[in-house]
Amino acid sequence: MKLRKMFKIWLISLSAVIKAAAISGIAVYPALLFVASVIWFNTETKATPQNTQVDLALILAVDVSSSVDNSEYHLQNQGLARAFASREVIALIRQCRLGRIAVMIVQWSSPRFQSAVVPWTIVSDEATADRVARAILAAPRQFAGGTSISALIDFGMFQFLRAPVSAYRHVIDISTDGVNNSGERPRFPRARAIAAGVTINGLTILNDVNNLDIYFRQYIAAGPNNFVMKADDYEAYRTAIKRKLLKEIECLALS
C-alpha cells in the first residue's frame, strides 16, 4: 500500500514537472532528474552492506575549461591532494558522528563534459585519505571547453542518486575561475538542488573575473549552510582549498 501511494505521488509529480518544463522551456531530462532526486532525497534510506552510512557525501568539482591552462590544472590537483594529506582534515573527520565521509572528484567544463576521475571513496583515516590524494595526482586532464556550472550541478545530483552510500549531508563543492557561459541557466539546476536539500558551495579563483565570488553568492551557492570562498589566483587556491575542505567538515563536527 505504501509503495502504491509513493508511486501515485511520483506519477502526479512527474506529470506536473514535465508540463512545467514544457511551458518554461526546460529540458525534460533535467525535469525527470528533479522528480527522482526530490523523491529519493526525501525518502529515508537505511544503510546496508552495499550502502554504507557516512557523515558527508562530497563532490569536489575541478574546473578544466579552456580558461584553465595545464599549469593551473596541476596547481588545483596539488592543492586538493595536499588538503587530503593534511592531519587537520583527518582529525576533523574523526570528530564527526560516524567518523567517515565519502568523496568524489569530478573534472568539468562544457555541458556534456563531466568526468568522475576519482569515484566514490570513503575517507576515515590516513590510509584512505592518502589513497584519494594519490588518485587525484594521477588523474589526467580529461578535456577542455566552455564553463557549464548548470550541467555540473545536474551531473552532481545524478552522482548522489547513484552513490553507494547513505549520507547525512550532500555537498557539491565547485572550484572555478569563470561564470556559467554554456548550457542551461544556473537557476534551474540550482532550484532542483535546493528542493532536494543539497548544498552547493564555491571556491572562486579571481584571476579572470574580479567579482566572481559575488556572482557565486547570488546565482550558484545554495542549500543548508552554504558558503563561498575566494582565492586571488591558482597559487592561492592551493591553500584556500584546504581551508574550504576544513570548513565543509567542521559544519558536521560541530553539529
Tell me: the pLDDT tens digits for 132-155? 999 999 999 998 899 999 999 999
Helices 70-85, 234-253: axis angle to 10 degrees equals 30
Is there a single domain that holds both residue 36 and residue 8? yes
Residue 250: pLDDT band with limits 50, 70, 90: confident
Identify whether residues 9 and 74 lie together within a single domain.
no
Residue 82: DSSP 8-state: H
pLDDT in tens, 100-127: 999 999 999 999 999 999 999 999 999 9
- Domain match, 58 and 23 both: no
Three cell numbers written together for 96: 564527526
For residues 6 and 111, membership in a common domain is answered with no
Residues 52 and 36 in one domain: no
Global pTM reads 0.83
Q: Are residues 18 and 141 in the same domain?
A: no
11: buried, middle or exposed (CB in 10 Å: 19+, 13-18, 0-12)? exposed
Cell numbers 567518523 correspond to: 99
Domain boundary among 28, 44, 60: 44
Q: Is the pLDDT of residue 47 over 80?
A: no
Per-residue pLDDT at 87: 93
Give pLDDT, residue 199. 97
The separation between CA 208 and the C-alpha centre of its own chain, rounded to angstroms, equals 22
Q: Look at residues 163, 152, 139, 170 and name the one whose alpha carbon lies nearest to residue 73.
A: 139
User: Does 29 lie in the same domain as 58?
Assistant: no
Residues 126 and 38 in one domain: no
Question: Residue 122 is part of which domain span?
Answer: 45-253
pLDDT at 17: 46
CATH of the domain at 215: 3.40.50.410
Q: Are strands 114-123 and 101-108 parallel, antiparallel or unpaired?
A: antiparallel
Domain shared by 122 and 70, yes or no:
yes
Number of domains making up the chain: 2
Q: Where are the alpha helices (DSSP H) in 52-196?
A: 70-85, 87-94, 126-138, 149-162, 187-195
Distance CA(48)–CA(46), nearest Å, equals 6
- Which pLDDT band holds residue 16 (cuts at 50, 70, 90)? very low
